[in-house]
Amino acid sequence: MSESSSFILDDQEIPFMPGQSVMQAALTAGVFIPHLCYHPEFRPHGSCKLCTVKINGRPATSCTTPAAAGMAVESNTPEILDKRRTLLQMLLVEGNHFCPSCEKSGFCMLQALGYELGVVAPRFSLLYPTRPVDASHPDVLLDFNRCILCELCIRASTEVDGKFVFALSGRGIKKHLVVNAESGKLADTNFSLADKAAQVCPVGVILPKRKGFAVPIGQRRFDAAPISAHVDEFKPVVSAQGERP
């Protein structure tokens, strides 16, 4: 019915379907909004805040806010870009992100967004948390040092795999990813490399064993073009109305 519904995003008119979020409408129209916890196949989570825009002058997460006709949305402004850089800097100093030895390097959304937004300095003091890796599973390595708590693995394991392998535990700076087994070890769950939860981590936590650094530098996902040029890969898979996402 409302074919003509649209809102304005940074001076550009963005059409939307009823039920779409601001993020989904923007991505469908080919406009990239930086995000980490949004995934085209999952319901929005609204936790990383990287997708924050200003809607009619008020900050809101674009992945959770339904699009509405006539909205004035600001995304690509110096103020908002600066806030997004700060969020990325906080994520980078809170974990142990040593990209040179990370198998996800070149495929990592956190890294690619750092490049996109020009994050060159840590700005804050580094936390250097102690987070031992879990190498117990025969096919998958868990390197908790890089977890950004986006809950995508939790959502995938719960909603798609029906296995409940992952959960978050603790509060505030102590919040961390845990494995749902008496021993806390991935080997003692029914997790498998074929699970959806093994495919969705935007950073380098859930890694297939014996596959590291298979793609040469220069040919990795975000080597040739910045993440904003990959906008088509983030378009919603179901565009409207009730059903997931």
Partner 1 sequence: MNAPRKLKVATTSLAGCFGCHMSFLDIDERLLDLLEFIEFDRSPLTDIKHCGPCDIGIIEGGVCNADNVHVLREFRANCKVLIALGACAVNGGLPAQRNHLDLRDILAAVYVTEEGLAPGTQIPNDPELPLPLNQVHPIHEVVRVDYFLPGCPPSADAIWKFLTDLIAGRTPHLGHGLIQYD
Binding site residues, ligand SF4, CB under 6 A: 97-99, 102, 104-105, 108, 110-111, 146-153, 177, 200-201, 203-206
Residue 49 touching ligand FES (CB under 6 A):
yes
Helices and strands (DSSP H and E) totals, the chain? 4, 9
Strands (E), 19-171: 52-55, 58-61, 72-74, 140-142, 166-169
Residue 38 touching ligand FES (CB under 6 A):
yes
Q: Cα separations (Å) of 242 from 4, 35, 41, 77, 100?
A: 20, 22, 13, 32, 42
Our CB check for ligand FES shows the closer of 23 and 186 to be 23
Q: Whose structure tokens read 């319901």?
A: 43
- What span, in angstroms and rounded, lies between the C-alpha atoms of 210 and 149? 25
Spell 190-209 as b/e; 16+ CB within 10 A means b. Answer: ebeeebbbbebbbbbbbbee
Q: In this chain, which stretch among 34-42, 194-202, 206-214, 215-223 interacts with ligand FES, using CB under 6 A?
A: 34-42
Q: In this chain, which stretch among 48-56, 116-124, 140-148, 202-210 interacts with ligand FES, using CB under 6 A?
A: 48-56
Contact 140, 208 (CB under 8 A): yes
Residue 36 touching ligand FES (CB under 6 A):
yes
146 binds, among ligand FES, ligand SF4, partner 1, none (CB under 5 to 8 A by kind): ligand SF4
Our CB check for ligand SF4 shows the closer of 58 and 174 to be 174
Contact 22, 75 (CB under 8 A): no
Tell me how far, at minimum, the Cβ of 85 lies from partner 1, in Å: 12
Q: Which of 32, 30, 29, 35 is nearest to 50 (CA)?
A: 35
Our CB check for partner 1 shows the closer of 69 and 133 to be 133
How many residues sit in the footprint of ligand FES (CB under 6 A)? Answer: 12
Our CB check for ligand FES shows the closer of 47 and 158 to be 47
Residue 27 touching ligand FES (CB under 6 A):
no
- Residues 211-230 contacting partner 1, CB under 8 A: 217, 223, 225-226
Our CB check for ligand FES shows the closer of 12 and 47 to be 47
